[in-house]
Amino acid sequence: MEKQHKVSIWYVVMGVWVVLLLQQYIASMFAVEVIPYSRFLELIHENKVSEVAVSVNQIQGKLKTDNGGKEKKFRTIRVDADMSQLLKSSDAVFKGEIQSNFMATVMSWIVPTALFFGVWFYLMRYMGKQQAGFMRLGGNKAKIYVQDELNISFNDVAGVDEARQELVEVVDFLKSPGKFSELGGKLPKGVMLVGPPGTGKTLLAKAVAGESGVPFFFISGAEFVEMFVGLGAARVRELFDQAKLKAPCIIFIDELDALGKARGAGFVGGNDEREQTLNQLLVEMDGFDSTLGVILLAATNRPEILDPALLRPGRFDRQILVDRPDKKGREDILNVHLKKIKVEEPLDVAAIAAMTPGMVGADLANLVNEATLLAVRKSKNAVGLPEFQEAVERVIAGLEKKNRLINPKERRIVAFHELGHALVAMNVPGADPVQKISIIPRGIGALGYTLQVPTEDRFLMSRSELLAKIVTLLGGRAAEQIIFNEVSTGAMNDLARATDIAQSMVKEYGMGETLGNVYYARKRKAQFLDIMPDGAAEYSEQTAQKIDEEVKKIISQQYDRALDILSKQHKTLEQAAEILLKNEKMDAAQIEELMKTAS
């Protein structure tokens, strides 16, 4: 083993002493004698000066020596000529001096020295931090919040009553754990919040911490994984060690799927950094005592890709679904956000909730903000229902682009196309009610749109209702075919959506006429995200051909159905198009009135 040497202060003292000796030796080599000015005048009269250099304030020169020795250097300060003549007559010794400031001299040494040592100290400290940071990349990055910083309670969370009720037990345990331990009960070590993005999973976790008044450790799953092997596992260990010291507390891991993806999926070899981090998390969850009051919460919108070991009893053994809110839930969420703005009274919140099916809490918060901005733009003192209706259109269809120039022919095609959607929807049972038609361009590529709002939230759909959606989507192209005897590229998105519905009917819902009640989509989509499955389905080429034939048959039948409906409503289509081209907007009541007069 190499012997360790300690640095002694005497080494520093000896080093300083050697430096001073060298300084004196070097100074003696270049020494210059300072003489009074009176002596300089005497040396001039004695002819002992061999060389002189005169400047404004001083005189430098060399003195003659006997026997040809080395000339001696001297320096003196100049004195006024008249003054020197007067002083010389008195035989006084006189010399010139430059007035010096002692403090200035001292500061001229102290300030540079202090500045040098200050810069040196800062650099050493900064480099030390950099080295420490490099060596501690595995350190805990969790943000710790206390109750005053969170200031969030269950009153700030709406539309997720079932999930909130499940989490009340966690709050009760953190407040009074003795009530559970008396009966020998143990709270689940891990609680996983599962649901689509924007439904309020993170807000719920913060509300649990705010209600219970305990420290809240917040960290993202992606922050555990580093490029250096083993640092993610070290970060997990440090997080749990800190949590045990601050117990009772809550650890919240957001986006758990970034860390807890199933091991061995898509990786070669088992010594992967992410897998080591996940293994350490599993070990820590097994090792800590649930009676300490450390509750582990996590959130994800992709539960289907999580490792099964995370979901077994003893780890994340309770999964709480935070789903999209229904109409009542949307009303509650809107009421929470409406408290923060000025609204016109009375405001029909139920009508706004009915216009926003499928929206989650984040969407509704954005909707309220958009409506407020519209009211400010109109210089109104409060936000009313018209601003919310316009905000819904803006969120769904995009921003209006009234300055986009469209030639009259294309504008006419767009008008008949959108009216084709509307008239078919109004004549097909099971279709969503039409609310508004517009030919004002919106968003990136939409030249017009037909707004349909369902009367209620739907969780199941029948075959006839799915066919109603397809025939409504194909109504735009059918109207173009009837009026112009040709079709345009404007129906591309309609065709894509209609084909997706038809494929789902045949491959997933067993609604084909010849293939029977068989599920052919082997690779399932993500549960809460609109992500297409990877890989090919597992069925024969003959089955694939039959699926294609079934899909094509459904599309063709519904297109013929749309042509038939619009042919019967040809007069209404023409009259409504003229009004729409003139006003750029129409509502369902105007079309219904035209349909009555045409019949």
Q: Which residues are part of the catalytic machinery? A: 418
Residue 200 class from Cβ within 10 Å (0-12 exposed, 13-18 middle, 19+ buried)?
Answer: buried
CA distance 514 to 414: 37
DSSP code at position 5: P
Query: Residues 428, 431, 432, 435: what is their CA dihedral angle, to the nearest 10 degrees?
Result: -20
Structure tokens at 453: 């709002």
Closest alpha carbon to 297 in 318, 313, 277: 318
DSSP code at position 579: H
CA distance 516 to 509: 10
> Which are the contacts of 65, defined by CB distance < 8 A and separation ≥ 6?
71, 72
Q: Is the dihedral of CA 248, 253, 259, 263 positive or negative?
A: positive
DSSP states of 425-443 = HHTSTTPPPEEEEE-S-BT
CA distance 69 to 440: 107
Residue type, 456: E
CB 550 within 8 A of CB 557: no
Q: Is the dihedral of CA 50, 53, 59, 61 positive or negative?
A: negative
Strand partners, 320: 193
Sheet with 434-438: strands ordered across: 449-452, 434-438, 585-587
